Structure 1
């Protein structure tokens, strides 16, 4: 196992920062691992989301892993759920089917909201902690638009509600992941898998009407 990858003991989900984990649907059903790692909350996001386990608080979000899906509609609700959990010393697992696209997108949106880092750095940090992380083109575009339009106000609202609780710690944790990422010998550009777009690209079209990726 790559020593740079923070894989949680007895599970396949990945610790991103203290209290925040990303994984797949099997991880969310592994009661022994959930218990051993003291997971108290789960964000489950896929197109057939269900609440399978007692004694865990759930946020269920129904979304396909499709570039045209409007995953950004869940950013505010998920951020509030995750932060409330962590503020009260809980641990939250964010999962989708594979733990690659939808769950990573939600985690990145949360990290953007509670730290001083933008979407690119937050995604690079998550990739450092979970190497399979790779949101689809449309989800990355929505993260970029979130940063350019709503993020400043979201951060202000979080600061007003929670003061700066966890912000310094979380910003530092992301920076540590970025430092590790920058120290690795890279065989390719670390941003090669990111999809930079001009601000307001496709602005006339809502997320559900985005053009499909070229095939």
Structure 2
């Protein structure tokens, strides 16, 4: 089955950087590292989705996303009322049968967890990795996305409870281990220097002036 992993970057929410780090440079570094997680998966396409209700803001995000991805990577500019629903619908339109969507502020999300999300779709209709502090770090679904998952976003604080209440049967939803997102300056303390990956974020935090973007 055709699989695609997409990183979702929105203009309405974003990680607050530590002091001394430019917000756009920080957001771009997180997005690039999250994209590398998606792009590194075997037998899986990768994309970056940018969403904003403001067309000008969406165009700006699209240009920034194109600057942190490999040539040829789809950058999907989306609108509509639902960021998550919009990206899943667009991936389905492009031929994906299974899709996973990763928050752009989860730069060190383990590839193993992404693989677990896809593996869970062998039995479940949808799968989720809860985010510490509420919301989701990543969400996956068979496409077209089940109607019962609509209305839930990666930033919905009670996303797991909402999905659990909406599922038609227990096996329809699989939960994989959760992960953290970098939503506040203090969240950078969650990054493990010994963990592989998150190279752009690592470099920017070590030298905020060394990565012009």
Same fold (TM over 0.5): no
Question: TM-score of the superposition, structure 1-length normalised?
Answer: 0.31
Question: TM-score of the superposition, structure 2-length normalised?
Answer: 0.31
More helix by share: 1
